[in-house]
């Protein structure tokens, strides 16, 4: 999956190399920079794939780019017993670093990322685990304003201890705002 993403990114970067990465747009006298970095904060529902139990992930992700290539660094925490009165101790903490691509318009943001992850957590109240996994997500954001939005992500973290597949509601914030347009 990562090899396919990297090959696509190379072609995508070559096709879009002629575009100005510092291009600005104006919306109601507010200036915004295109192709900026963004962060998301999200919560959702997931299925633990090796036992088909429901879990509830929360995540914080930072997305940034170097020229035309986008990267993601994030952390996700999934717990099995959020809605239960008795705490079982089962959880997954996932720290991931991914590479991907993004398409953006005035009204929405669509992106895909995949890469390795480091996982650790508890399988029960006394059994800990650590390991390497693979993380991938597809994200769609509907912008409320150019630099603020809400959307969803479909994600998978595949590892041998606590593999999960789920959907997450994300709140989107970008650093696109550049100030008010000065009337001449």
pLDDT of the residue at 88:
58
Domains of the chain, start order: 2-19+28-180 (2.40.160.20)
Work out the pLDDT band at 87, boundaries 50, 70, 90. low
pLDDT of the residue at 168:
96
For residues 48-73, average pLDDT: 91
Mean pLDDT, the chain, whole residue set:
82
pLDDT of the residue at 6:
44
- pLDDT at residue 13 is higher than 60: no
For residues 158-179, average pLDDT: 88
**pTM confidence score:** 0.80
Q: Kindly report the length of the chain.
A: 184
Neighbours of 93 (CB within 10 A): 17
**Per-residue 3-state assignment (H helix, E strand, C coil) for the chain:** CHHHHHHHHHHHHHHCCCCCCCCEEEECCEEEECCCCEEEEEEEEEEECCCCEEEEEEEEEEEEEECCEEEEEEEEEEECCCCCCCCCCCEEEEEEEEEEEEEECCCEEEEEEEEEEEEEEECCCCCEEEEEEEEEEEEEEEEEECCEEEEEEEEEEECCCCCEEEEEEEEEEECCEEEECCCC
Work out the pLDDT band at 147, boundaries 50, 70, 90. confident
Work out the pLDDT band at 2, boundaries 50, 70, 90. very low
Work out the pLDDT band at 79, boundaries 50, 70, 90. confident
pLDDT of the residue at 154:
98
pLDDT of the residue at 116:
98
For residues 14-20, average pLDDT: 47
Work out the pLDDT band at 12, boundaries 50, 70, 90. very low
């Amino acid at each position: 999956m990562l090899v396919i993403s990297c090959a696509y990114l190379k072609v995508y970067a070559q096709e879009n190399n002629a575009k100005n990465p510092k291009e600005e747009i104006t919306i109601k006298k507010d200036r915004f920079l295109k192709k900026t970095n963004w962060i998301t904060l999200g919560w959702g529902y997931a299925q633990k794939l090796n036992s088909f139990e429901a879990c509830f992930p929360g995540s914080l992700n930072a997305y940034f780019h170097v020229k035309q290539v986008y990267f993601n660094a994030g952390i996700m925490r999934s717990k099995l017993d959020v809605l239960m009165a008795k705490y079982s101790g089962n959880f997954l903490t996932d720290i991931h670093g991914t590479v991907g691509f993004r398409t953006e318009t005035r009204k929405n943001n669509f992106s895909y990322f995949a890469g390795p992850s480091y996982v650790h957590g508890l399988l029960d109240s006394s059994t800990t685990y650590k390991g390497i996994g693979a993380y991938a997500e597809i994200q769609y954001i509907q912008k409320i304003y150019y630099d603020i939005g809400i959307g969803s992500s479909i994600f998978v973290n595949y590892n041998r201890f606590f593999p999960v597949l789920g959907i997450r509601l994300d709140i989107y914030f970008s650093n696109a705002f550049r100030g008010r347009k000065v009337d001449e």
